[in-house]
Amino acid sequence: MKELEQEEWREQLGKDANAAILDVRTEEEVEEGYIPNSKNIDIYKGQGFIDEVEQLDKDKNYYIYCRSGKRSAQACSILDQLGFSNTYNLKGGFMEWEGETAED
């Protein structure tokens, strides 16, 4: 896992053709807004989270965020343990995100 500051995360993501964005917040949080093209898998699902994550392509580079950066750091650790090679945590999370956002 790498901890990336907001600007670094956004820049690296923009240049990464093998990127996948993972939002590990709850559905309620996602309804308030999210980073476009992100896949939501709620880390609070416990084993359900692990089951869903194990279906993902381990060769992709995962850019992971939550509300503040704590749950996404946990998610990065879990993915690392499951054999994912590149995980990037968004420091400060969605609360500090200044890039593009979307709402349902």
Task: Give pLDDT tens digits for 11-41.
Answer: 999 999 999 999 999 999 999 999 999 999 9
Position 88 in a domain: yes
In this structure, how many other beta carbons lie within 10 angstroms of the beta carbon of residue 45? 14
In a domain, 10, yes or no: yes
CA distances to 67, 74, 78 from 83, rounded to whole Å, are 25, 15, 9
CA distance 67 to 24: 9
Predicted local confidence at residue 103, as pLDDT:
87
Residue 76 located in a structural domain? yes
- Cβ neighbors of 36 (< 8 A, separation 6 or more) are 100, 101, 102
Amino acid at 89: N
User: For the chain, what is the domain count?
Assistant: 1
76 catalytically annotated: no
In a domain, 19, yes or no: yes
Q: Could you tell me the two tokens for 70?
A: 């704590």
Strand-strand pairing, 38-40 and 61-65: unpaired
Q: Which of 66, 75, 79, 90 is catalytic?
A: 66
In a structure prediction context, what are the per-residue pLDDT tens digits for the chain, which is 104 residues long? 999 999 999 999 999 999 999 999 999 999 999 999 999 999 999 999 999 999 999 999 999 999 999 999 999 999 999 999 999 999 999 999 998 999 86
Whether 104 is in a domain gets the answer no
The pTM for the full model equals 0.96
CA–CA distance, 103 with 9 (Å, rounded to integer): 21
pLDDT score recorded for residue 86: 96
Structure tokens at 15: 């240049």
**CATH no. for residue 31?**
3.40.250.10
Residue 28 has a pLDDT of: 97
Q: Would you say residue 103 lies in a domain?
A: no
8 within some domain: yes
Q: Is residue 101 part of a domain?
A: no
Q: State the residue range of the domain holding 22.
A: 2-96
Taking the alpha carbons of 40, 43, 49, 53 in that order, is the dihedral positive or negative?
A: positive
